[in-house]
Amino acid sequence: MGWPLVKYLLWSLLLFVQIHEHRACIEEERMGLLELKAFLKSHTNYTKPLLPTWVYETKGGCCSWEWVNCSTNTGHVINLTLSNINILQDYVRGTWFFNVSLLQPFKELRILDLSNNGIAGWLRNEESNGFSNMSKLTQLNLRDNNFDKEILRSLGALPVLKSLDLSFNNMWPLSSKELVYLSNLEVLILQCCGLNGSLPFKDMANFSNLEILDLSGNDFTGSITPYIGALSSLKAISLSDNRLNGTLNTPEFCALKKLEEIDLAGNGFEGMLPPCLKNLTSLSSDLYKGLILDMVSALDLSFNKLTEFRSFS
Ligand SMILES: *[C@@H]1O[C@H](CO)[C@@H](O)[C@H](O)[C@H]1NC(C)=O
Ligand SMILES: *[C@@H]1O[C@H](CO)[C@@H](O)[C@H](O)[C@H]1NC(C)=O
Ligand SMILES: *[C@@H]1O[C@H](CO)[C@@H](O)[C@H](O)[C@H]1NC(C)=O
Ligand SMILES: *[C@@H]1O[C@H](CO)[C@@H](O)[C@H](O)[C@H]1NC(C)=O
Ligand SMILES: *[C@@H]1O[C@H](CO)[C@@H](O)[C@H](O)[C@H]1NC(C)=O
Ligand SMILES: *[C@@H]1O[C@H](CO)[C@@H](O)[C@H](O)[C@H]1NC(C)=O
Ligand SMILES: *[C@@H]1O[C@H](CO)[C@@H](O)[C@H](O)[C@H]1NC(C)=O
Ligand SMILES: *[C@@H]1O[C@H](CO)[C@@H](O)[C@H](O)[C@H]1NC(C)=O
Ligand SMILES: *[C@@H]1O[C@H](CO)[C@@H](O)[C@H](O)[C@H]1NC(C)=O
């Protein structure tokens, strides 16, 4: 009779220790997450349980909730993934707007993923409050929603944003006025955004931090030069699947001293890249150290496509 009791007590102790290894989350943020869930729920058609681990009863435990990561030091929520939450009802009508004010409690948030939700924009009147408290947000994934370029102005309020994925939203027509809001970025992914005309490099002359740029799957026409040389920090670029043409062997590329990856497939280019770019390598994980991998995985710089353009050597 004694041993089972001891075992039971040991198990309880172990469980207790494990539970308390997770730093309790900040109460304001726990309430904030529940408010967020309630809002999302009001926009779902209940075909599947929404965020089932986000329940009030898990006292102090919101850091163990699904799609939430807290800082191990401070207990603040630093990473929130609300991707593909299966919003159908309003999505079909294309009128589903997100209340960004609900993000206000998360002052320490660094990574936010709202991809794949069919969101058409922020709720009016809430926009100005929206991002003002997220002064630490560095990575934002808005891929596969219904945003238009109006979103960019509100992103300008994020002081340290470094990485943005807006792929599969309609950003046409993107002018210098909107590009200004993106000029501090290190990673910009605009795959399949309905963009056309000439490449926007002229208006990107002061994008001095930009390391990764993906403009693939748009409808850009004309030449890759002039002005690409101004993107002096560029390490990787994809322009695949556009309607670009002209010659590739132009010395302007030689200004891109840090360029390691390039994908130009699916265009109408002539000739080879200039020999100054000989040191292009295949995708190396080191390249993205410090940047978020899952944001960058969109960038398909496959080795095959690359070798296609290395045959000059
Ligand atoms: C952020 O959270 C998502 C889902 O919970 C996870 O897949 C991703 O790796 C996290 N990112 C970081 C940098 O912790
Ligand atoms: C973030 O949370 C997800 C589960 O929601 C988990 O799989 C992942 O390991 C967590 N990441 C970190 C860095 O704790
Ligand atoms: C809920 O979603 C299902 C698909 O998962 C769909 O067939 C159904 O019509 C939707 N209901 C409403 C009210 O939108
Ligand atoms: C958006 O969320 C905030 C914070 O919870 C709330 O005060 C506000 O009423 C909401 N706005 C709308 C239009 O629902
Ligand atoms: C957001 O920040 C403003 C000032 O920066 C502050 O007055 C306000 O209380 C903050 N809101 C929340 C919900 O923390
Ligand atoms: C680029 O120029 C705009 C104004 O034209 C400015 O607001 C922005 O901060 C500049 N960006 C960088 C990275 O210097
Ligand atoms: C660019 O795309 C828009 C919207 O799809 C279209 O109306 C316009 O004619 C296109 N312009 C060019 C030059 O292809
Ligand atoms: C590039 O394509 C355009 C049509 O989009 C055409 O007018 C132009 O002549 C082409 N230039 C070259 C160098 O092939
Ligand atoms: C390529 O790399 C090699 C060795 O890393 C270096 O010696 C050479 O100068 C580089 N060539 C160019 C064109 O940068």
Among 109, 57, 52, 110, CA closest to 86: 52
Q: How far is 107 from 109, CA to CA, in rounded Å?
A: 6
Which DSSP symbol is given to 92? H
pLDDT in tens, 198-216: 999 999 999 999 999 999 9
Is residue 81 lining ligand 1, measured as CB closer than 6 Å? yes
Lowest-pLDDT range of 4-18, 128-142, 266-280: 4-18
Range of the domain at 28: 3-309
Instruction: List ligand 4's pocket residues with C-beta within 6 A.
Output: 35, 99, 101-102, 123, 126
Among 84, 114, 79, CA closest to 98: 114
> What's the 91 CA to ligand 3 centre distance in angstroms?
11
Mean per-residue pLDDT of the chain: 80
Number of domains in the chain: 1
Mean pLDDT of 268-273: 82
Residue in the block written with tokens 């990107």: 204
Index of the ligand 2 atom closest to the CA of residue 66: 5
Residues 6+ apart with CB under 8 A from 235: 211, 212, 258, 259, 260, 261, 287
Lowest-pLDDT range of 167-176, 185-194, 230-239, 301-310: 301-310
Question: If pLDDT is split at 50, 70 and 90, which confidence band does 21 have?
Answer: very low
Write the DSSP string, 178-190: HHGGGTT-SEEE-
> What's the 4 CA to ligand 5 centre distance in angstroms?
53
For the record, the structure tokens of 310 come out as 């290395």
Is residue 184 lining ligand 6, measured as CB closer than 6 Å? yes
Pick the residue whose CA is nearest to atom 13 on ligand 6: 184
CATH number of the domain enclosing 106: 3.80.10.10
Q: Look up the pTM and report it.
A: 0.83
Among 281, 174, 203, 29, CA closest to 166: 174
> What's the 222 CA to ligand 8 centre distance in angstroms?
6
Pick the residue whose CA is nearest to atom 9 on ligand 7: 196
Of the bound ligands, which one is closest to the alpha carbon of residue 177? 6
Per the CB < 8 A criterion, the answer to whether 236 and 212 are in contact is yes
Residues 6+ apart with CB under 8 A from 286: none
Q: How far is 36 from 271, CA to CA, in rounded Å?
A: 53
